[in-house]
Amino acid sequence: MRFRYFFLLAAITVNMLGCATEPDATLTATLVVQQTDVEVARVARRDLSANLELVGNLLPSRRSVIVAEVDGVIEKIPQPRENPTVVEYAGMRQTLPLDIGTAVKQGDLLVQLDATEYVLALESEKAQLAQAEADLANLIAWKRPEEVALAKALYDEARANLTRADSAYERAGRLLQTNATSTSEHETKHADALKARALLAHAQANVAIAESGPTAEALAVAKASVASAEAQVRHKQWRVDKTSIVAPYDAVVTDRYVDVGDRVTALPRVEIMELMDIRFLVAEVGVPERYLGSVQLLGKATIQIDGHSVPIPGMIVRINDKVDPGSRTYRIRIAIDNGSREFHVGQFARAVLTIASSPNTLAIPRQALTYSGGQPNVFLLADRTVTRRRVELGIETDDFVEVTSGLKEGEQIVVDDPAVLTDGMPVHLRQVDSVAQIPVSAP
C-alpha cells in the first residue's frame, strides 16, 4: 500500500496592518490531500475444493497370529513354495524355511506337527466304527431264510414232542387208576408234558421273531452306536488334520516365534507366526468431530507416504461410529493398492480428504477479506473510491474463498491490505492482481 500526496495553493490577499501605503501582499497556504494506492481483482468463477489434511499410520488389511489347535512337537517348517532363499555356509548349501518377508498362498503349509499319536487314535476309532456298522448290518438283515426254516422245524418238533408227552401223561393216569403204575411215574409224565408245552411256546416265539424282524428299539440302539463311532472318527480325523497348520489367506510372514523341535500347545496358547495381508494397506487417521457427515464411505482420498514423492489414490473403506472422548476424533481407514509391496506396515502417512466442493462458483482471494464486528467484508472500487460490502462465505481454501452472497461476478474488490481502508475513502489503482483471472482497467 502506497500513499500519494497533492499540494493545492490558495492565494489569500490581506491588508497588512501598518502597511496601508504598500501594495497588497499575497500569503500562500498549502493544503495536503492523501490518496492510497490499491490493487484490485474482479470477482470471478472457479472450481473450489475444501481439503482436510490428517496424519496416521499404514496398517495391513488383515493380520493373524497363527497358533496351534492341538498339542504337539514341531516336526517341520517347510521351505517357501515361491522364490526360496538358498544360502551356503561352511561348504553346505541350505534352503531357508519360512520366515519374515516370505510370501505364502492360502492353504500353504506353515508348520507340521508330529501326528503319530493322533493317527493311532484315529485308526482305533475307525475299527470301532467298523464293528458298530457290522452289528447294525446284521440286525437289519436279521434272519436268513434257512434260519427261519430251522425255527419252524424246531417248532414242529416241539409240537410233536408235546403230543407224545400229553399221550404218555394220559396213559399214566389211566394206569394209576388200576394201580398199574406208581404215583411218582404219573407225576414224572405230568412234568414231561409241562416241559414239552413250554418248549413248544419257546419255539413258537422264535418263529414269530424270525418272521417279524428286529424291533425299533434294537435298531435305534444299533444306529446310535454307529453315529457315536462316526463322530469319534471325525473328531480324531480333525485332530490329525490340525497337525498341519496352513495359511488362512494369501499373506506375508511378518514374524516367526518357533523352530523345529519346539513343543506347542493349544492351551496355554503358543504363538507360532504372524501373517499380514498387505496386498491392500489402510491408512488409519483421526477425523475431528466437527467433520461428522462430511466424510463418506467409499469416498476418494490421496495418501502421501514418506519417501514417495507422488501421492497415492485411496478410498475410504471404514468409518468408525465411535468418537473418542479424549481427542474428539473418530477413526477412518483409507485403502491403497500395495500389490507391488512398495509400502510397508507402520509407515507414516498423510491423508488429504476433500470434504466439500463447489464447481464454477464465485470466489475471491482470501486477502480481500476484512472483518467488522466479526462479520466478513470486502471493499468495492468505484469512481476512485472504495465502499465496504458485507459478504457471506462458503468453502475456504488456502488461496480463495467462496462468496455465496453479497457480490456479483465482475465486480472489482481491493485485495491489497483492505484493513487500512475506510468506507468512502479515495484510492488510486496501482496495478492488477495476477490472480484476478479477468483484467481490470484503471478508471
- Phi then psi for residue 187, to 5 deg, are -65, -35
- Is 77 in a helix, a strand, or coil? coil
Residue 283 and residue 336 in contact, taking contact as beta carbons nearer than 8 Å = yes
Domain ranges (residues) in the chain: 2-37, 41-49+359-432, 50-55+276-357, 145-213
CATH of 145-213, picked from 1.10.287.470, 1.10.3720.10, 3.40.50.150, 1.10.730.10, is: 1.10.287.470
- Residue 289, Cβ neighbours under 10 Å: how many? 13
Residue 6 pairs in a beta bridge with 33
CA-based Rg of the chain, rounded to a whole angstrom?
A: 53
325: nearest Cα among 289, 296, 284: 289
Number of H helices, E strands in the chain: 4, 23
Q: What is the reported pLDDT for 278?
A: 95
pLDDT of residue 431: 52
Kindly state the cell numbers that stand for 64.
493373524
Contact in structure between 309 and 350 (CB atoms under 8 Å): no
Q: Are 256 and 98 in contact (CB under 8 A)?
A: yes
Helix (H, G, I), strand (E, B) or coil at 85: coil
Cell 440302539 -> residue: 221
How buried is residue 373: exposed, middle or buried, by Cβ count under 10 Å (0-12/13-18/19+)?
exposed
Closest CA to 37 of 88, 72, 3, 85: 3
How confident is the model at residue 272, as a pLDDT?
97
How far apart CA 376 and CA 389 sit, in angstroms, is 9
- Single out the residue of 369, 368, 386 nearest to residue 428, CA to CA: 386
All three cell numbers of 34, joined, read 492523501
Architecture of domain 41-49+359-432: Beta Barrel (2.40)
CATH number of 50-55+276-357: 2.40.30.170
Contact 386, 424 (CB under 8 A): yes
Q: How far is CA 277 from the centre of its chain?
A: 12
The dihedral of CA 237, 238, 241, 242: what is its sign? negative
Q: Per residue of the chain (443 residues), what is the pLDDT tens digit?
A: 555 544 444 444 444 444 444 444 444 444 444 568 889 999 999 999 888 999 999 999 999 999 999 999 999 999 988 777 777 777 778 788 999 999 999 999 999 999 999 999 999 999 999 999 999 998 888 767 777 788 788 888 988 998 999 898 888 888 888 888 888 888 888 898 899 889 988 888 877 777 777 788 888 999 999 999 999 999 999 999 999 999 999 999 999 999 999 999 999 999 999 999 999 999 999 999 998 988 999 999 999 998 888 999 999 999 999 999 999 999 999 999 999 899 999 999 999 998 888 899 999 999 999 998 889 999 999 888 999 999 999 988 889 999 999 999 999 999 988 988 999 999 888 754 444 443 343 33
pLDDT, position 151? 78
Please report the pLDDT score of residue 336 as a whole number: 96
Shortest CA distance to 133 belongs to which of 237, 235, 209, 232?
A: 232
* pTM across the whole model: 0.64
